[in-house]
Structure 1
Amino acid sequence: MIILGVILLILGFLLSVPILWTIGIILVVVGAVLFLLGSAGRAVGGRRHWY
């Protein structure tokens, strides 16, 4: 999710499309929060591990 967010940020910047920039920021933030919760050992969405 973080990688997709970074790709959308880059595309939004290069193509001057503000909605891609906004969606990219949201995906990076959500991905970072999920990563931090998962690495802290907390269950995210009822699961401890995502495969």
Structure 2
Amino acid sequence: MARGQENFTVIGDLQGWGYSNCDIRAYLAALDILQNNYPERLGKVYLVHVP
């Protein structure tokens, strides 16, 4: 991250997303890493094309 930048923003595009084309273990592992190691870094999450 740039010097002085404290938070990051996540934009999740869910268009075409479904259970048949996802790896739930990978998503859970990524969330676990972010939650346990960088809880103060997440600023905002935007979800677009939510079914």
Where on the TM-score scale, by shorter chain, does this alignment land: which range? Answer: 0.3 to 0.5
Higher strand share: 2
Higher relative contact order (CA 8 A, sep 6+): 2
TM-score normalised to structure 1 length: 0.35
